[in-house]
């Protein structure tokens, strides 16, 4: 495994308020990374700093020896795909919506190669039947898949996802996260996603980054996810148990018989 | 990452072809209306003779004069203004993420009207002449046009400046536009209150947009601004598609959203300002043509922009033709007719919903 994305001393200020301070971590190829922490701690801000939707005050984001913060937005978009929390719909087919993901590669107009890549991603994600459906008639789960497909046709090395499973039912949550994990492993890319559901994170992520007070509280594989870390970060006592070989986090102090 | 090569799906291609066919059909309708617009009037010219004359084959010297001196510039102005207002409308709706946005959302029409009022009332360019063609006319149309244009660009400048300082957010742009619009409207009322009957009539007359005001020397400027603007918007069709998918998605796709917003807004405002200053306020076209096209071929800007341009030309040509015959021998300004003609069609399309 090789390190592909390294974040150094990242600092972000919103007006005069420090939001992120001295954020540093690195990510290996083929990893799914969960960024965890309570609401308002700056998880989304961190994600947006990684592809410079927000411009960090200080620091560097190195992707394979290139500092992303020194590239143009178009160059970043060819390397990093971003799936925001909210996706707008319109009277567009899913195919056109995904084709938009080729924007960073398109000159004057789409080429047959662009179309072929889009077609291939529909097959890959098992959503061929949705190609010509209008996205304003889609369910939340289908729409989220379209958004992920759109980011994937950017041919990114790193995929950033902002709460990819919020607003989804249980089956769709598992579907989406399985898809992300499989794609990341198959294509040797990396995914960084902010999450609220610690159980889903434990099941699908390889690496965990807990954010507290604008900096990384702890960073590592799933053995760092302990009741004391969670209580420190979220301010809530929890129990961690094992259920059919899967670790589960349950809120509440460990006193119930 | 690498994706295995797929194929160009046939059903997708035929879906795109269907959109192209609608646009080609629209162009044919526009051409038909163009000939009709030239053919119909105080003197009826057979459509075939119109086509012959347009292609340089002289049918009759009298008709040639009527066509080249009166009807052709008016029909061309309808086409160019229709295209300009419609594409400015499409762009504004995308830029401001607002289905109610139009070329006049930023207060351009009120600013233009205020400019004309200033010119007529304070600079004394308004007067009443009674002629058969024009019941009321403005004694110095050039100065009036220039002053109207200056105020249009002043309004645009204020919005640009505020957007630049406060960040180019759609809310700031829309609300500033509403505020400016009210301010200029109040200014017009103030000036009208102190004007003479003749000046009042001239100001009101100016605001009724009319393609009949077009002359040959206006057309090069109008075509240049509208042509360059159309090219710009078509070149940026992917950026508008990206913005329609949400600001964050667009930024993730490498689109400089603020810049696309500010430049697009400036160009849409410039197009509208030129049209308003030369022809007066022609409402409804910029608001409704894009929506009509959305209902037929969808929101994909690759087809929406050219489709709206064609629809703008169709609506304005049809309105102008009807305006000249409906109460003949009187000629109504086209602005009165655009809503009359457009609203029923638009309500029908809204009622029917999207075409599948």
Is the bond preceding residue A257 a cis peptide, omega within 30 degrees? Answer: no
Q: Residue B259, Cβ neighbours under 10 Å: how many?
A: 12
Whether A124 contacts chain B with CB within 8 A? yes
Q: Dig out the tokens for B182 from the structure.
A: 């009210």
Q: How many beta-carbon pairs under 8 angstroms link A with B?
A: 130
Mean pLDDT check: name the lowest of A95-104, B147-156, B167-176, B260-269.
B167-176
Pairwise CA distance, residues A1 & B203, whole Å: 76
The confidence score (pLDDT) of residue B7 equals 59
| pLDDT tens readout for residues A22-39 | 898 999 999 999 999 999
The confidence score (pLDDT) of residue B5 equals 53
CB contact under 8 A, A84 and B4: no
The residues near A36 (Cβ < 8 Å, ≥ 6 apart) are A43, A194, A195, A198, A201, A208, A209, A210, A211, A233
CATH architecture designation of domain B13-352: Orthogonal Bundle (1.10)
DSSP structure class, residue B245: T
Pairwise CA distance, residues B190 & A189, whole Å: 65
Percent of chain B with pLDDT over 90: 44
Beta-ladder partners of B204? none
* Ordered domains of chain A (ranges, CATH): 3-90+156-225 (3.40.50.300), 227-257 (no CATH)
| pLDDT tens readout for residues A180-193 | 999 999 989 999 99
Q: Which of B7, B238, B248 sits opposite A106 (nearest CB)?
A: B238
Domain regions of chain B by residue span: 13-352
Q: What is the maximum alpha-carbon separation in chain B?
A: 76
CA distances from B164 to A56, B156, B179 (A): 21, 12, 17
Beta-ladder partners of B285? none
Closest-CA distance of chain A to residue B16, Å: 10
Question: Are the CB atoms for B178 and B107 separated by under 8 Å?
Answer: yes
The pLDDT confidence band at residue A257, using thresholds 50, 70 and 90, is: very low
Closest-CA distance of chain A to residue B247, Å: 9
Question: Are the CB atoms for B103 and B89 separated by under 8 Å?
Answer: yes
The confidence score (pLDDT) of residue B1 equals 47
Report helix, strand or coil for B138. Answer: strand
CA geometry: angle B229, B234, B237, nearest 5 deg: 125
Residue B233 in this model has a pLDDT that exceeds 50? yes
The confidence score (pLDDT) of residue B171 equals 87
Question: Are the CB atoms for A195 and A163 separated by under 8 Å?
Answer: yes
- Mean pLDDT across the stretch B114-134? 70
Closest-CA distance of chain A to residue B41, Å: 41
- The string of DSSP letters for chain A reads --EEEEEEEEEEEETTEEEEEEEEEEEETT-EEEEE--TTSSHHHHHHHHTTSS--SEEEEEETTEEGGGS-HHHHHTTEEEE-S-----S-BHHHHHHGGGGGG-SSS--HHHHHHHHHHHHHTT-GGGTTSBGGG--HHHHHHHHHHHHHTT--SEEEEESTTTT--HHHHHHHHHHHHHHHHHTT-EEEEE-S-HHHHHHH-SEEEEEETTEEEEEESGGG--HHHHHHHHS--EEEEEETTEEEEEES-TT--
Mutation site for B-interface testing, chosen from A116, A125, A158, A162 by largest number of B Cβ within 10 Å: A116
Of chain A, the end-to-end C-alpha distance in Å amounts to 43
| pLDDT tens readout for residues B294-306 | 989 999 999 999 9
The pLDDT confidence band at residue A86, using thresholds 50, 70 and 90, is: confident
Question: What's the ipTM?
Answer: 0.90
Q: Which of A77, A91, A152 sits opposite B299 (nearest CB)?
A: A91
Pairwise CA distance, residues A183 & A197, whole Å: 21
| pLDDT tens readout for residues A203-214 | 999 999 999 988
Residue A162 in this model has a pLDDT that exceeds 90? yes
Tell which wins on pLDDT, B346 or B211.
Answer: B211
Q: Which of B5, B15, B294 sits opposite A120 (nearest CB)?
A: B5
Contacts of B95 in chain A (CB under 8 A): none
Q: Dig out the tokens for A232 from the structure.
A: 């420190």
Percent of chain A with pLDDT over 90: 58
Residue B135 in this model has a pLDDT that exceeds 60? no
Q: What is the CA radius of gyration of chain A?
A: 19
Question: Are the CB atoms for B87 and B274 separated by under 8 Å?
Answer: no
Percent of chain B with pLDDT over 70: 92
CA distances from A74 to A52, A85, A198, B53, B232 (A): 11, 21, 34, 51, 19
Mutation site for A-interface testing, chosen from B97, B240, B245, B260 by largest number of A Cβ within 10 Å: B245
Question: Are the CB atoms for B147 and B119 separated by under 8 Å?
Answer: yes
The confidence score (pLDDT) of residue B294 equals 92
Contacts of B251 in chain A (CB under 8 A): 53, 73, 82
Contacts of A106 in chain B (CB under 8 A): 238
Which residue do the tokens 């490498």 mark? B254
| pLDDT tens readout for residues B172-185 | 888 999 999 999 99
- The string of DSSP letters for B45-112 reads --HHHHHHHHTT--S-HHHHHIIIIIIHHHHHHHHHHHHHHHHHHHHHHHHTT-TT--TTTTSHHHHH
Pairwise CA distance, residues B55 & B39, whole Å: 15
In A, residues 173-212, which contact B (CB 8 Å cutoff)?
183, 187-189
Residue B127 in this model has a pLDDT that exceeds 80? no
CA geometry: angle A65, A68, A72, nearest 5 deg: 130
Question: Are the CB atoms for B43 and A154 separated by under 8 Å?
Answer: no
The residues near A56 (Cβ < 8 Å, ≥ 6 apart) are A10, A11, A12, A20, A49, A69
The confidence score (pLDDT) of residue B130 equals 46
The pLDDT confidence band at residue B107, using thresholds 50, 70 and 90, is: confident
Pairwise CA distance, residues A201 & A54, whole Å: 25
The confidence score (pLDDT) of residue B126 equals 62
Contacts of A82 in chain B (CB under 8 A): 248-249, 251-253
The pLDDT confidence band at residue B3, using thresholds 50, 70 and 90, is: low
Report helix, strand or coil for B281. Answer: strand
CB contact under 8 A, B249 and A92: no
Tell which wins on pLDDT, B2 or A29.
Answer: A29
Contacts of A48 in chain B (CB under 8 A): 248
CB contact under 8 A, A83 and B252: yes
Q: Which of A84, A132, A153 sits opposite B246 (nearest CB)?
A: A84
| pLDDT tens readout for residues B320-338 | 999 988 887 888 888 888 8
Contacts of A127 in chain B (CB under 8 A): none
The confidence score (pLDDT) of residue B136 equals 53
């Amino acid at each position: 495994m090789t390190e592909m994305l390294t974040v150094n001393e990242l600092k972000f200020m919103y007006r005069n308020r420090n939001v992120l301070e001295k954020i540093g971590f690195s990510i290996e190829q083929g990893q799914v990374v969960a960024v965890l922490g309570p609401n308002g701690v700056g998880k989304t801000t961190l994600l947006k700093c990684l592809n410079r939707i927000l411009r960090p005050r200080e620091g560097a984001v190195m992707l394979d020896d290139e500092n992303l913060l020194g590239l143009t937005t178009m160059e970043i978009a060819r390397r990093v795909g971003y799936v925001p929390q909210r996706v707008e719909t319109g009277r567009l087919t899913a195919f056109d919506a995904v084709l938009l993901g080729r924007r960073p590669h398109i000159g004057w107009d789409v080429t047959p190669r662009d179309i072929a890549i889009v077609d291939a991603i529909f097959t890959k994600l098992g959503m061929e039947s949705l190609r010509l459906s209008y996205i304003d008639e889609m369910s939340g789960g289908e729409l989220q898949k379209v958004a992920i497909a759109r980011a994937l046709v950017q041919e990114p090395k790193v995929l950033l996802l902002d709460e990819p499973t919020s607003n989804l039912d249980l089956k769709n949550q598992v579907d989406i996260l399985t898809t992300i994990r499989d794609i990341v492993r198959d294509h040797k890319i990396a995914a960084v996603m902010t999450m609220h559901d610690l159980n889903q994170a434990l099941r699908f992520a390889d690496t965990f980054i807990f954010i507290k007070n604008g900096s990384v509280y702890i960073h590592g594989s799933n053995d760092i996810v302990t009741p004391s870390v969670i209580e420190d970060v979220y301010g809530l006592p929890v129990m961690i148990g094992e259920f059919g070989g899967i670790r589960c986090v349950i809120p509440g102090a460990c006193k119930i018989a | 990452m690498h994706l295995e090569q797929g194929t160009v799906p046939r059903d997708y291609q035929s879906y795109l072809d269907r959109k192209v066919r609608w646009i080609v059909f629209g162009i044919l309708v526009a051409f038909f209306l163009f000939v009709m617009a030239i053919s119909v009037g105080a003197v009826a010219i057979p459509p075939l003779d119109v086509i012959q004359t347009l292609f340089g084959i002289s049918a009759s010297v009298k008709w040639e004069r009527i066509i080249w001196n009166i009807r052709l510039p008016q029909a061309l102005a309808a086409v160019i203004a229709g295209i300009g207002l419609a594409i400015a409308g499409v762009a504004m709706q995308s830029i401001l993420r607002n289905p109610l946005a139009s070329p006049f959302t930023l207060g351009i029409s009120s600013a233009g009207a205020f400019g004309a009022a200033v010119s007529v009332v304070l600079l004394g360019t308004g007067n009443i002449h009674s002629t058969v063609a024009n019941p009321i006319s403005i004694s110095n149309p050039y100065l009036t046009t220039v002053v109207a244009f200056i105020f249009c660009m002043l309004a645009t400048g204020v919005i640009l400046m505020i957007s630049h300082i406060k960040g180019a957010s759609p809310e700031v742009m829309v609300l500033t536009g509403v505020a400016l619009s009210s301010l200029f409207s109040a200014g017009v009322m103030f000036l009208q209150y102190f004007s003479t009957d003749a000046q009042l009539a001239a100001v009101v007359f100016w605001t009724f947009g009319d393609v009949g005001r077009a002359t040959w020397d206006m057309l090069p400027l109008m075509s240049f601004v509208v042509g360059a603007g159309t090219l710009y918007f078509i070149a940026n069709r992917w950026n508008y598609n990206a913005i329609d998918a949400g600001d964050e998605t667009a930024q993730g796709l490498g689109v400089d959203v603020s810049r696309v917003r500010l430049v697009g807004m400036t160009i849409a405002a410039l197009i509208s300002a030129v049209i308003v200053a030369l022809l007066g306020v022609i409402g409804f076209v910029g608001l409704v043509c894009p929506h009509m096209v959305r209902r037929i071929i969808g929101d994909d800007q690759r087809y929406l922009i050219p489709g709206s341009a064609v629809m703008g030309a169709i609506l304005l040509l049809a309105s102008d033709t009807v305006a000249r015959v409906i109460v003949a021998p009187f000629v109504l300004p086209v602005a009165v007719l655009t809503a009359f003609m457009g609203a029923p069609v638009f309500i029908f399309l809204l009622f029917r919903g999207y075409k599948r």
